[in-house]
A and B are shown apart, each in its own frame.
Chain A
Amino acid sequence: MHIFTNPNYNFLRWRWHAVAVSWIVILAGLFAIYTKGLPKGIEFAGGTSVIMQFDTTPSVEAVRDALNRNYPGGGQDAVVQSYGDPAVRQVMVRVPQVGAEQGTSLSVPAQNVENALRKANLGNFKVVGTEIVGPSVGDELTQKGLSAFILSLIGILGYIAFRYEFSFAVGAVVATLHDVLVTFAFLAFFRYDLTLNVIAALLTVTGYSTNDTIVIFDRVRENMRKMRRDSLSEVINISINQTLGRTVITAGTALLSAIALFLFGGEVLHGFAFTMIVGIVTGTYSSVFVAAAIVTFWRRTKPSKLSTASPAAVTAPAAPARNAASSRKSKSQRKARAS
């Protein structure tokens, strides 16, 4: 069975469109983050969240009303939502306050939330979970997450440069950066909280999105040895087409598992699964449209190691002329095939 039978799409011809689409998404995402902010999960924002299980679930409005009346300072800053499967009758209340970090008073707001709801007679409930995060934790996490991300990018850059060549490494890393920015944009569009799990998913996307890129680059390298007469663009285009089936299928299987997590993994993993889904899709897109395009941009300005090292290259100055000629030729070939 084949998804594509002998595909022959000219991906590189669409690279400017792809650049435009990517920038539109990324800029729209940045704009959304700039105007509305990226909602931060409790680990990053600090605060107190209390999860309560009721005998009969009260409405969100009733809980909010109870907080407005009984929570010290009013409940206008509180977030109230039903938590998990409706069958488990759980409600989560999140308030931005935390108690003093000294002694045991950190949990005072959690107590206040519980008391406020008890006072309002919302029916019998028990507290099944609390999470209290002091204000200093978020900054440290942001810093740690950022450094983990940058270090893993440097690691991947180094590895691909070592195994392939530097322009490929640049392509892979730019594609990964692109994926992370696009994923952030979608997190902003769909208002998912930035949590530890989401960051973990983003770091996983960093590692995973290079996979498709490596598969394509591997084929580019193989084809470069076979097709010495063709231009780099031509080789890249053919390589992308040859590997298109597996690029789509590997993304598909990863997507299947991410979707299973999104639908059945429960409340805590929702943001994680969403991030993975977006990351897998954009990772595949960027492998095809971004990574290879970056290689051609980079190679145009920088002399290439591979083409000069290649025994077929006659002399360096002659090479561009030959490439131009062959790319013209291949264009006409393509027209012939299309007709």
Chain B
Amino acid sequence: MNKNIRWKVITIVAVLVIFTGVGVYPILAEAYRMPSPAWLQQKQLKLGLDLKGGVHLVLRVQTDDAIRLQSDQTAEQLREALRMRNIPGMVSTPSISQIRVEGVPPGQDAAFRDASADLSTSFDRSPGTNGSYTFTMKPNIQNQLRADSVVQARQTIDRRVNELGVAEPQIAEQGVDQILVQLPGVTDVEHAKSIIGSPGLLELKIVEAGPAASREDLMQNGQVPEGMDIVPGNADATGGGTVYYMVRKAAAVSGHDLTNARPAVDQNNLPAVSFTLNSEGARKFGTITETNIGRRLAIILDNRVSSAPTIQSRITDNGQITGVTRDEVNDLSLILKSGALPAKLTYLQEQTIGPSLGADSIRSGVTASVVGLLLIIFFMLIYYKLSGINAIIALVFNLIILLGLMAYIGAVMTLPGIAGFVLTMGIGVDSNVLIFERIKEELEAQHGVRASINAGFDRVFWTLVDTHVSALIAALFLIQFGTGPIRGFAYTLIIGLASNLFTSIFVSKTLFEIALSRRSPREQVATLSI
């Protein structure tokens, strides 16, 4: 064996050992309980949700909410600013991104401009007739808010899912405003959904009026007073009946100031959730409670008053939510701890795959792989005789490298991915077919075995590059198109194509060289089993 071939063989063996170690051995070790180091088992090829079982959710973040919230808050600040400067004017929000002010007296125009100066960073102002002004949120600010709300929602969901203790969840942004949540092994969809989708917005507000039996009782002249909100709540701790409270729109303290929440019991030994505020929240809460002793404090969760106890003394950094059931306590503490969602979520898609369904898919995928491999092995042996063995070795290398690379880069094997694996066999040997056919052609032209083999590989090389590149182009766009399972398929195809170029050209040619090197270099090699 000459030096050149020896190096090629060493390269091939090294590649084979590495990829078998990463890609194939951990799978076998798990299936047949063979010893294997933990770090290697951790690198094992990951199975997708469709094979392992679990819950797959696609949610849409209602990004309009984030813009509406911003407009509402800004409108509230503007109201406050006008009140402080004694400027009359009705502030309203006609659309989610607009604030409208009406009835500013002409004489106070300059003062109004001064009061609304803060808005100019995020809003464009256009004056109308009779002292009216319309502020429209700048498009770039709107886009930023939308993008931020998706990121925040993703982070919040991430924290909640982690608190749930799901192993290897996958939470990713998808498209403009969607979030993909994959929870392997989870089968209780309803519970997962209620925790992920719960707004989790905690607000502490002083009760201005109420409780009252109906909304109308609290209205003044048939209207909700400016800057106020009427919020429903339970009449008693057991959840019977609804009463209404009037509170200020702007919260004194909110869930943003919360550091921790945990299950607890109240003074009547009923389930409750205790929460702790951070220093900023504690300062605000201290001032509010101190100045409002004897009044009621509404603890509002997701726009519903959960309780409204009377303030006995100054409270700083902790409080309790009562009136929750024993089942809700854990979930509620989890949701509060992970923070509020910046916007409402809607569910677009939901899929549950039971473990047995996944196991069926694995079984049929493996059967199809074995049958496909056997069919191709038979065909190559019959059609290309001994050279067929060469193609089969190259193919098996191709599959081992494919599995190894997928495990190494942490790609996920899905059911369509298995299909990609099977197709890689059928499409992978195509390269060998093209090379072998070319060699046959050269042999028929009486070019001698060595020359024919060299010509076969050389002439077909660029054809192979072209066919692989065009298949790669389609596969790359497939990643763009697909989610989860389809991406698994696209990755399998792409990796399979790349490793196929290596095996069909480098490995296969080296195998021919080894076969020829057994004969003496001067001996005229006259026959090739092809």
Whole-angstrom CA separation of A52 from B349 in the bound complex: 19
Interface check A136, CB cutoff 8 A: yes
Q: Quick one: closest B residue to A88, CB to CB?
A: B360
Contacts of B426 in A (CB 8 A): 253-258
- Residues from chain A with a CB closer than 8 A to the CB of B466 are 159-160, 163, 214, 218
Q: Which of B356, B416, B422 is within 8 Å of A197, CB to CB?
A: B416
Does A200 touch B at the CB level, under 8 Å? yes
A155 touching B434 by the CB < 8 A rule?
A: no
Q: State which residues 443-477 of B face A: CB under 8 Å.
A: 459, 462-463, 466-467, 469-477
A218–B462 CA distance with the chains assembled, in angstroms: 9
**What 0/1 readout, one digit per residue, does chain A (211-226) give for beta carbons within 8 Å of chain B?**
1001100100010000
Contact with A along B180-204 (1 / 0, CB 8 A): 0000000001100110010000000
| CB–CB B190/A104 < 8 A | yes
Interface on chain B toward A: helix, strand, loop, or mixed SS?
Answer: helix
Residue of B193, B347, B376, B469 most packed against chain A (CB within 10 A) = B347
Known A107-B189, A207-B474, A246-B437; contact A137-B357, beta-carbon cutoff 8 A: no
B480: chain A residues within 8 A (beta carbon): 144, 148, 151
Point out the residue from B433, B467, B485, B489 that lies within 8 Å of A210, measured CB to CB.
Answer: B467
In the complex the two chains form, is A260's CB within 8 Å of B371's CB?
yes
CB distance from A133 to the nearest CB of B (A): 5
B387 to chain A, nearest CB (A): 11
Those of A190-213 within 8 Å (CB) of chain B: 196-197, 199-200, 203-204, 206-208, 210-211
A134 touches B347 (CB 8 A): yes
Contact residue among B423, B463, B486 (Cβ-Cβ distance under 8 Å from A261): B423
B467 A214 Cβ-Cβ under 8 A:
yes
Beta-carbon contacts of B468-508 to A below 8 Å, as 1s and 0s?
01111111111011100110011001000000000000000
In the assembled complex, which residues on chain B have CB atoms less than 8 Å from the CB atom of A264? 364, 367-368, 371
* Residues B327-363 near A (CB distance < 8 A): 344, 346-354, 356-357, 360-361, 363
Tell whether, in the assembled complex, residue A214 and residue B437 are in contact, meaning their CB atoms are under 8 Å apart.
no
Closest to B178 in A: A140
B434 & A215 in contact (Cβ 8 Å cutoff): yes
Q: Chain B residues near A130: list those with CB within 8 A.
A: 189, 350-352
Q: How far is the CA of A151 from the CA of B354 in the complex (A)?
A: 36
Contact, CB under 8 Å: B354 / A215:
no
Contact A203 B478, beta carbon cutoff 8 Å: yes
B383 within 8 A of A: yes
Q: Which residue of B lies closest to A262 (CB)?
A: B368
- Give the residues in chain A near B481, CB-CB below 8 Å: 144-145, 147-148, 199-200, 203
Query: When the two chains form their complex, are residues B419 and A196 in contact, meaning their CB atoms are under 8 A apart?
Result: no
B430 lies within 8 A of chain A by Cβ: yes
How far apart sit A154 and B525, CA to CA, in the bound complex (Å)? 47
> In the complex the two chains form, is B471's CB within 8 Å of A84's CB?
no
B308 within 8 A of A: no
CA of A127 to CA of B429, assembled, Å? 41
Question: How long is the Cα–Cα vector from A53 to B354 in the complex, in angstroms?
Answer: 10
Per-residue CB contact flags for chain B residues 288-314 toward chain A (1 = under 8 Å, else 0) read 000000000000000000000000000
Kindly list chain B residues whose C-beta atoms are within 8 Å of the C-beta of A273: 419
Asked whether A103 is an interface residue with its Cβ less than 8 Å from the other chain, the reply is: yes
A263 neighbours in B (Cβ, 8 Å):
368, 371
**A246 contacts B349, C-beta separation under 8 Å:** no
Residues in chain A near residue B50, CB distance under 8 A = 268
A261 to B197, CA, bound (A): 39
Assess whether A129 is interfacial by the CB under 8 Å rule.
Answer: yes
Q: Which residues of A contact B493 (CB under 8 A)?
A: 204
Q: Which residues of B contact A101 (CB under 8 A)?
A: 60, 346-348
Q: Which residue of A lies closest to B479 (CB)?
A: A148
- A208/B351 in contact, CB under 8 A: no
Q: Which of A88, A131, A148, A210 contacts B350 (CB 8 A)?
A: A131
A269 contacts B470, C-beta separation under 8 Å: no
- Do residues B364 and A266 form an inter-chain contact, with CB atoms below 8 A? yes
- Kindly state the separation between the CA atoms of A214 and B433 in the bound complex, as whole angstroms: 15
**CB-contacts of A1-27 with B (<8 A):** 1-2
* Contact between B348 and A137, CB atoms less than 8 A apart: yes
- A84: B residues at CB distance < 8 A: 360, 364
Q: A-side binding surface: helix, strand, loop or mixed?
A: helix
Complex: chain A residue closest to B470, CB-CB = A210
Q: B270 in the interface, Cβ–Cβ < 8 Å? A: no
Which residue of chain B lies nearest to A219 when distances are taken between CB atoms in the complex? B463
A208 touches B427 (CB 8 A): yes
Contact A132 B478 (CB under 8 A): no
Known: A85-B360, A208-B471, A253-B376. A268 touches B415 (CB 8 A): yes
Compute how far the CA of A222 lies from the CA of B441 in the bound complex, rounded to whole angstroms: 14
In angstroms, Cα B35 to Cα A36, docked, is: 58
Q: Does A106 contact B (CB under 8 A)?
A: yes
B408 contacts chain A at the CB level, 8 A cutoff: no
| Residue A245 interfacial (CB < 8 Å) | yes
A208–B472 Cα distance when bound, in Å, is 9
Q: Which of A134, A172, A203, A218 contacts B477 (CB 8 A)?
A: A203
Candidates B189, B194, B357; contact of A51 at CB < 8 Å: B357
Query: With A and B bound together, what is the CA distance between A248 and B346 in angstroms?
Result: 51
Q: In the complex, what residues of A have CB within 8 A of residue B490's CB?
A: 200
Q: How far is the CA of A265 from the CA of B418 in the complex (A)?
A: 9
B residues within 8 A CB of A107?
189-190, 193, 350
- B residues within 8 Å of A by Cβ? 50, 58, 60, 175, 189-190, 193-194, 197, 344, 346-354, 356-357, 360-361, 363-365, 367-369, 371-372, 375-376, 379-380, 382-385, 415-416, 418-419, 422-423, 425-427, 429-430, 433-434, 437, 440-441, 459, 462-463, 466-467, 469-478, 480-482, 485-486, 489-490, 493
- Beyond A132-B349, A249-B433, 17 extra complex contacts between A and B, CB < 8 Å: A134-B347, A144-B481, A147-B481, A155-B473, A204-B478, A207-B471, A207-B474, A253-B429, A253-B430, A257-B423, A258-B426, A260-B371, A261-B422, A264-B367, A268-B361, A268-B415, A269-B416
18 examples of A-B residue contacts, CB within 8 angstroms: A130-B189, A130-B350, A134-B348, A148-B478, A159-B469, A160-B470, A200-B481, A200-B489, A207-B471, A208-B471, A210-B467, A211-B467, A222-B459, A249-B433, A257-B376, A261-B422, A264-B367, A265-B422
Residue ranges of A at the interface with B (Cβ–Cβ < 8 Å): 1-2, 51, 53, 84-85, 88, 101-104, 106-107, 126-134, 136-137, 140, 144-145, 147-149, 151-152, 155-156, 159-160, 163, 172, 196-197, 199-200, 203-204, 206-208, 210-211, 214-215, 218, 222, 242-243, 245-246, 249-250, 252-261, 263-266, 268-269, 272-273, 276
Nearest first, the 8 A-B pairs at minimum CB distance are: A207-B474, A257-B426, A266-B364, A260-B372, A128-B354, A148-B481, A207-B471, A155-B473
